[in-house]
Amino acid sequence: MTRTPTGRPAGARRRMTLKEAERFITLLAEAHPNAESELDFVDDYTLLVAVALSAQATDASVNRATKGLFRDAPTPAAMVALGEEAVGTHIRTIGLWRTKARNVVALSQALLDRHGGQVPHDRAALEALPGVGRKTANVVMNVAFGDSTMAVDTHIFRIGNRTGLAPGKTPRAVEDQLVARIPAPMLRPAHHWLILHGRYVCKARRPECWRCPATEPCQYTGKVLIAP
């Protein structure tokens, strides 16, 4: 556990004000002007599958697995025809691959049965698909349909709490705070700015505050301002 010089556990000094929250997001936006998803996909369907596979896995590992998977099965019908066992051989390097192989085939069948093989632009319909939870639905709605949703992954949950941007005990609580506190026009891209910031700068074990663009509004008491 990181501690402050007084020996206290490091954490957010307080919740950011709305002005500070806007400043924080603006500084991340300037640092990542071309931010977008790091998952490889070619359409709404391959996006949905890639996001469903990415739970507890890195985007790089998912991209390695989906290269062959999407070549063999680029559509829901082709995925169902490929079958669970063959899907499993493609994604065996990803965590929870057995469950994910079953879900990918089942969600493909559900898309054919309920939505004419299309990815629905509807939260409830997305969350009713096998293996699709709120986070996956939020990413698909954000990236595929341009909705102002906020998918809270491990990086965004950490940043929300560590910096005081959006403190909350659960991913849903952090999501609600972010949606309420980030100016509406910035909300959709903010998802990508926050993920990239958490992945490459505000890292889990030791945030690299010495090269962070947003130290000023950040309320973290354990900032590491000198590079080791």
163 is a site residue for ligand SF4 (CB under 6 A) = yes
β-bridge partners, 9: 3
Tell me which stretch binds ligand SF4 (CB under 6 A): 31-39, 118-126, 141-149, 206-214. Answer: 206-214
Nearest to 39 by CA among 150, 212, 196: 196
Nearer to ligand SF4 by Cβ, of 2 and 63: the residue is: 2
Helix segments in 73-132, DSSP class H = 76-90, 97-115, 123-127
Long-range contact set of residues 36-41: C-beta below 8 Å, sequence gap at least 24: 36/143, 36/192, 37/139, 37/143, 37/192, 38/63, 39/63, 40/66, 40/67, 41/66, 41/70
CB 68 within 8 A of CB 94: no
Catalytic, 169? Answer no
Q: Residue 38 annotated as binding?
A: no
Nearest to 106 by CA among 79, 133, 125, 85: 79
174 is a site residue for ligand SF4 (CB under 6 A) = no
CA distance 47 to 115: 16
113, 135, 147, 169: which is the annotated catalytic residue?
135
Tokens 């054919």 belong to residue: 112
Q: Residue 155 annotated as binding?
A: no
Nearer to ligand SF4 by Cβ, of 41 and 193: the residue is: 193
Total chain residues near ligand SF4 (CB under 6 A): 13
Catalytic, 203? Answer no
Nearer to ligand SF4 by Cβ, of 3 and 98: the residue is: 3
- Of 62, 223, 226, 227, which one interacts with ligand SF4 (CB under 6 A)? 223
Nearer to ligand SF4 by Cβ, of 92 and 203: the residue is: 203
Going by the annotation, the residues of the binding site for [4Fe-4S] cluster are 202, 209, 212, 218
Q: Which residues are part of the catalytic machinery?
A: 135, 153
Site residues, ligand SF4 (CB under 6 A): 162-163, 201-202, 207-209, 212, 214-215, 218, 220, 223
